A and B are shown apart, each in its own frame.
Chain A
Amino acid sequence: MADFDAIVIGSGMSGGWSAKELTERGLKVLVLERGPEIVPERDYTDRILPWDSPNLDRIPQDEIAEHYPKQYGGVAYAIKETTKHFWVKDDEHPYEEAEGTRYDWLRGYHTGGRSIMWSRQTYRLGPQDFEANQKEGIGVDWPVRYEDIAPWYDYVERFAGIAGNADGLSQLPDGVFQPAFALTCAEEDFKSRVESAFPGRNVIAARVAHLTAATEEQRALGRSNCRARNRCEHGCVYKAYFSSLNATLPAAQRTGNLTMVHNAIVQSLDYDPATARVTGVRVIDAETKQRRVYTARVVFLNASTIASAMILLQSTSETFTNGLANRSDQVGRNLMDHISGAGARGLMHGFDDKTVYGRRPGGIYIPRYANITETEKPYLRGFGYQGGARPISSTNGQIPGIGRAFKEAHRAPGPWSVSIGAFGEQLPSPDNRVTLHPSRRDQWGNPVAVLNVTYGDNERIMLEEARKDAIAMLEAAGCTDIRSPNVNLTRPGNRIHEMGSARMGRDPSTSVLNGRCQAHDVDNLFVTDGSFMASSACQNPSLTYMAFSARAADYAADLMADGTL
């Protein structure tokens, strides 16, 4: 008799959904979280007023050098003295980069994982994204089409709460939306000028996972509408933005079917060749270093793309000598992220007598047009832009002058600033991969990750073109003082959208998972974090992880109910 019906490894964006769906189907579920517990009432710091944070909320420089060189180097904007507990210390959780390569592995180990710190931009993939690999003969064909996942997008959006407009764009399908955060007056002007100069391009309000018209279901979980504070990196006592901790885990908890164990670092999965099933999960306690095994009928791997691949690679047996469910040798390969480092900013005039009130979570989004409404591009796929136009608000003292004039210049009427930055698609390549270090171990005895990811010509050319397009759109919008630094590609991993390390596909010899996120080689093993992504598209991916997790959990619960599993 197994300890649990299901074990979910990881409590972040996707693990929360796996736990919610499985517990709501009446299954007894154990969630293993490798980090400590976050208690919102105790550990969110959003109610600390800025002037009550010591040292301008800056982490001491020596502490950054010692503990956060990678994390801070990657997301300095989010790692503050009062938020550093949401990010790992690099010296405690080391990884290596293959010679000549760089990789930003930016993460937090605690209840809710990175769903606490995500940027909350929320977009569906479109039909083109599920078809591109097949059309272009790149990677493997997605075993799923947009129509298959569309109802699950609806399902997760309704629960999570997404603020957005129905924009009627086929490549960025509409969903179940709460009212959007409206465009500023300068953004409205930018939109009309850009859309008239470039008929195939659209400027829309960012779609974000923030409540603006909380439903009864959301209120029942203690969630309420966004207060436009822009304190999201600190957590949110209003639980206005979606996270596992704010939404899916409490929903799982209230079923009475959830057991949560923290500080439980998974080492490997036990495999029984007689039944061809996973039987248990080997863990080590992060603090006591005690080892134990939990057993279950089904295992959901939601440890995040790199970590899930590593767990599979660590789970070797006579049957799977190179890692569990890895007959295809694709585990750890095809690691993708999105690419930024191209954009433009400028000034917009004519709005001096206007300003804004409140601090919204998102700005504008320019959905992908390349190779959709505009063809003949010197690259495959495309990119979207995130951006915004707002009154210039500077507090960094880089304005000339002293005294009253200097002081008041910080709130004087003036031109608005507009900026847009590209997020491009990265093509899958089997050579971009995570492997286990042959000898180096972390303090729990687990192999350290070796990341080996480089960009190809398609990415480089695409981002050069994205820069040119950005300048052209700002020119069309009548901007002055347009500035666009040379393209400086973000390091792989830096967009924190890593994915693809256990891709889904139709052929078990070339892919790890089937279209339900179920391992081809092991029927009771599901991987529903970003690992399953067969291509990266260019949209922020969390919503897609949510939808596939809910769909996979529903499928697994069906199989358990009919006795197949």
Chain B
Amino acid sequence: MISRRDAIKSLVITVGGSSLLSACGGRVVLDALTPNASPRFYSEREMAVLSRVSDLLLPRTETPGALDAQVPALLDQLMTEWASSETRDAHRTALTALDTRLQASSGGDFLEGPNAVAEQALAAVDGAAFAGEPVEGYRALKGLITQAYFATEAGAVDEQQWVAVPGRWDPCVDRS
């Protein structure tokens, strides 16, 4: 019987390739793709693109990044369990359009190529989307990735210093 860890490891290699591992490294990345042994909604290609975009948007810094926080797996669950068929279609269309655009602007190597090239490609899309250019579904996709990240323990507690039980209200505190 294949162990959970092996199953996940094979998934990582399949969907993310070496760049994912090098970007995030080690055990945390393996956990990043749990709890689903394999995506239920996304194709392998879609999962790879989503993982790459999530990592570029919210990388590991001094705090965990989107992959550490299992954002791609969360979105896979969200699309499977929460989304209506209309939402699924729109999401898939957006992801596909983004993939096409990023591939074109990164010399066809958005997934496997150097981070700098992929970053530049995504930054161009982001800049256009926030400058008012219609980039189909990008802002919604970015929104979903970001919301999912900050809803995780890593995003909420490690990055945003969210405290479950503050215990008191202090209306005016110096930022440290």
Interface Cβ pair total, 8 Å cutoff: 139
B144 within 8 A of A: yes
B160 touches A61 (CB 8 A): no
Closest to B164 in A: A49
Decide: A228 near B166, CB < 8 A? Known: A60-B82, A183-B171, A410-B160. Answer: yes
User: In chain B, what residue has the closest Cβ to A411?
Assistant: B160
**Given A406-B58, A407-B58, A397:B173 Cβ within 8 A:** no
CB <8 Å contact, B57 and A403: yes
Q: Give Cα A118–Cα B161 distance, bound, in whole angstroms.
A: 28
One of B6-14, B92-100, B149-157 at the interface = B149-157
Known A54-B77, A227-B167, A413-B175: A395·B126 in contact at CB below 8 Å: no
A-side contacts of B77, CB under 8 Å = 54-55
Q: Which residues in window 380-395 of A have CB below 8 A to B?
A: 395
Return the CB mask of A383-424 against B: 1 if under 8 Å, else 0: 000000000000111101111101110110100000000000
Q: Is the CB of A400 within 8 A of B130?
A: yes
- CB atoms of A408 and B61 under 8 A apart: yes
- Are A411 and B156 in contact, CB atoms less than 8 angstroms apart? no
Contact A228 B151 (CB under 8 A): no
* Pair B173/A403 contact, Cβ less than 8 Å: no
In chain B between 134 and 173, which residues have their CB closer than 8 angstroms to a CB of chain A? 139, 142-148, 150-153, 155-156, 159-161, 163-173
> A49-B153, A396-B143 given as contacts; is B169 within 8 A of A358 (CB)?
yes
Residues B79-133 near A (CB distance < 8 A): 81-84, 87, 119, 122-123, 126-127, 130
**Cβ–Cβ contact A401 & B126, under 8 A:** yes
Given the known interface contacts A400-B130, A403-B57, the answer about A395 and B123 at a Cβ–Cβ threshold of 8 Å is no
* Of A182, A360, A411, the contact of B159 (CB 8 Å cutoff): A411
Dominant secondary structure at the B interface: helix
Asked, given contacts A61-B82, A397-B145, A411-B159, whether A51 binds B173 with beta carbons under 8 Å apart, the answer is no
Q: A354 contacts the other chain (Cβ, under 8 Å)?
A: yes
| B56 part of interface (Cβ distance < 8 Å) | yes
**A413 and B175 alpha carbons, distance in the complex (Å):** 8
CA distance A228 to B162 in the complex (A): 12
Q: Mark A262-297, 1 if CB is under 8 A from B, else 0.
A: 000000000000000000000000000000000000
Which one of B130, B142, B151, B171 lies within 8 Å of A50 (CB-CB)? B151
Closest chain-A Cβ to B158's Cβ sits at a distance in Å of 11
Q: Considering only CB atoms, which chain B residue lies closest to A353 in the complex?
A: B175
Name the CB-closest residue of A to B140.
A397
* B-contact 0/1 string along A30-50, CB 8 Å cutoff: 000000000000000000011
Q: Give the contacting residue for A402; candidates B87, B126, B152; CB below 8 A.
A: B126
A184 near B151 with CB under 8 A, answer no
Asked if A181 CB lies within 8 Å of chain B CBs, one says yes
Cα(A62)–Cα(B86), bound, Å: 10
Contacts A358-B168, A396-B147 hold; do A402 and B119 have CB atoms under 8 A apart?
yes
A residues lining the B interface (CB < 8 Å): 49-51, 54-62, 65, 181-185, 187-188, 226-229, 352-360, 395-398, 400-404, 406-408, 410-411, 413
List 10 A-B pairs, Cβ < 8 Å.
A50-B156, A56-B74, A61-B87, A181-B169, A188-B172, A354-B174, A357-B170, A403-B57, A403-B59, A408-B61
Q: Known pairs A181-B171, A227-B165, A410-B160. 13 more at Cβ < 8 A?
A: A51-B153, A54-B81, A55-B82, A56-B82, A60-B81, A61-B82, A226-B169, A228-B166, A356-B170, A360-B169, A402-B123, A403-B56, A408-B61
